[in-house]
Amino acid sequence: MRSVILALALAIAASPAEARGHRGDTYVNSDGVTVHRPVQATQPPPGATAQCRDGSYSFSLHHRGTCSYHGGVMRWL
């Protein structure tokens, strides 16, 4: 019983970002697919699909919402 209560407490204590599927270097997109978060790099990293206006590279699978927290899309790769 104690372990069940502990598990529930941990689930409730999860941050809102974790509850939405945002963990570390990845997020879960609208299709339920885990995608790498945008990264800062001097060259396009493998798998990058767009460069954001802040210079970061996105791995988004859809145009809608790509680079939304990074100033929008500067160019598609």
Mean pLDDT across 51-72 = 95
- 1-52: per-residue pLDDT in tens? 554 443 434 444 444 444 444 458 999 998 999 999 999 999 999 999 999 9
Domain locations in the chain?
22-76
Longest dimension (CA), the chain: 54
Give pLDDT, residue 23: 55
Name the pTM for this structure.
Answer: 0.68
Collapsed DSSP state (helix, strand, coil) of residue 28: strand
Tell me which of 58 and 19 has the higher pLDDT: 58
DSSP 23-43: BTTEEE-TTS-EEEPPEE-SS
